[in-house]
Amino acid sequence: MEGTARRIVAPVVDLRPEPRSDKGIDTQMVRGEPFTVYDVNAEGWAWGQAEIDGYVGWLPAEALGPADPAPTHRVAVASTFVYPGPDMKLPRGDLLPLGAALAVIGTRRVRDLDYGILPDGGAVVLTHLETVGAPPQPDFVAVATGLAGTPYLWGGRTAFGLDCSGLVQLALARAGVPAPRDSDMQASGLGEAVEPGDLAALRRGDLLHWKGHIAIAEGNGRMVHANGHHMLTVSEPLQAGVARIAAAGVPLAGVRRIPGAPIGQ
């Protein structure tokens, strides 16, 4: 089935299993990500597929725009504003999350601050952006721990709200490693299985997985994960966290290790 190539123009949009806003979300997409549309219903919902991870679902057609121009830059900080012009004193516009992609057509310096200029005249602080071809982050674990404090959101995959697998996917993406969206696919498709053994001996970047949950070992007796217990992304003592989850009736199912994973020095 041939579809129409489009691109997300909203800061963040929810992808839903049904074309209804009262339904829960399966995942999210951010500005600049490509989406193939296969159908648009009479109520203005578009059904299609996200290019980044193959997820299919419904989203408001108004959140979509042309596929071109292709993005030249990505947001490299947790969030940044789009201004109507190159001046931070102007009323702020959209708030874009980490990883949102933009087409920058020029730059302008105003009061010692450089801005990237967008095709519609909007402006973003240039130091908050990186080029699409910029080197990936050297340590995906540091990316994940840097997101500590982010609210837990079922289906979330942005710095505005994350679920467990959304954190893993986002952190790995920032380090140049593509990852499936859901925890079960991450637990079966990322890296290779290793024997958990002594939890204290787990390496930095190892992925601990349970039925319906996944976390990242920090390598110092701690793990970082987005979870419904704290309703946040948190770094906590690894063995205590594993014990707490087991006490809730969900034992650790296994550990995965990604060979050559970017985990810094």
**Burial class (CB within 10 angstroms; exposed 0-12, middle 13-18, buried 19+) of 197:** exposed
What was the pLDDT predicted at 265? 63
Residue with tokens 């390598």: 219
User: Is the per-residue pLDDT at 198 higher than 90?
Assistant: no
The whole-number average pLDDT for the span 62-90 is: 98
Buried-exposed string 68-102: b where 16+ CB fall within 10 A, e elsewhere: eeebbbbbbeeebbbbeebeeeeeeebebbbbbbb
Non-local CB neighbours of 120 within 8 Å, separated by 6+ positions: none
The CA distance from 181 to 176, in Å, is 15
Q: Rounded to an integer, what distance in angstroms lies between the CA atom of residue 189 and that of residue 183?
A: 10
Q: How far is CA 95 from the centre of its chain?
A: 15
The boundaries of every CATH 3.90.1720.10 domain in the chain are: 140-257
Share above pLDDT 70 across residues of the chain, in percent, rounded to a whole number: 100
- The answer to whether residues 110 and 121 touch, using CB atoms and an 8 Å cutoff, is no
Q: What is the pLDDT of residues 93-146, one digit of tens each?
A: 999 999 999 999 999 999 999 999 999 999 999 999 999 999 999 999 999 999
Q: What is the mean pLDDT of residues 196-201?
A: 82
**Mean pLDDT within 139-168:** 98
* Domain spanning 73-131: CATH 2.30.30: yes
pLDDT, residue 71, reads: 98
Residues of the chain with CATH 2.30.30.40: 4-66
Listed residue (72, 79, 69) closest to 30, CA to CA: 79
Q: What pLDDT is stored for residue 201 in this prediction?
A: 84
DSSP, res 157: E
pLDDT digits (tens, 9 = 90+) for 250-262: 999 999 999 998 9
CA distance 232 to 163: 9
Across the chain, mean pLDDT equals: 97
Output the DSSP codes for 36-83: EEEEE-TTSEEEEEETTT--EEEEEGGGEEES-SPP-EEE-SSEEEPB
Q: Which two tokens stand for residue 199?
A: 């939890």
pLDDT surpassing 70 at residue 7: yes
d(CA 130, CA 153): 26
Which token pair is 85?
A: 């012009």
Q: Does domain 4-66 match CATH 3.40.50.300? A: no
For 173-185, what is each residue's pLDDT tens digit? 999 999 999 999 9
pTM for this prediction: 0.96
Q: Is the per-residue pLDDT at 90 higher than 70?
A: yes
Three-class SS of residue 171?
A: helix
pLDDT in tens, 203-231: 999 999 999 999 999 999 999 999 999 99
Beta pairing partners, 60: 45
CATH number of 140-257: 3.90.1720.10
pLDDT above 90 (res 264): no
Whether the CB-CB separation of 209 and 202 falls below 8 Å is answered with: no
Q: Which two tokens stand for residue 84?
A: 């109507």
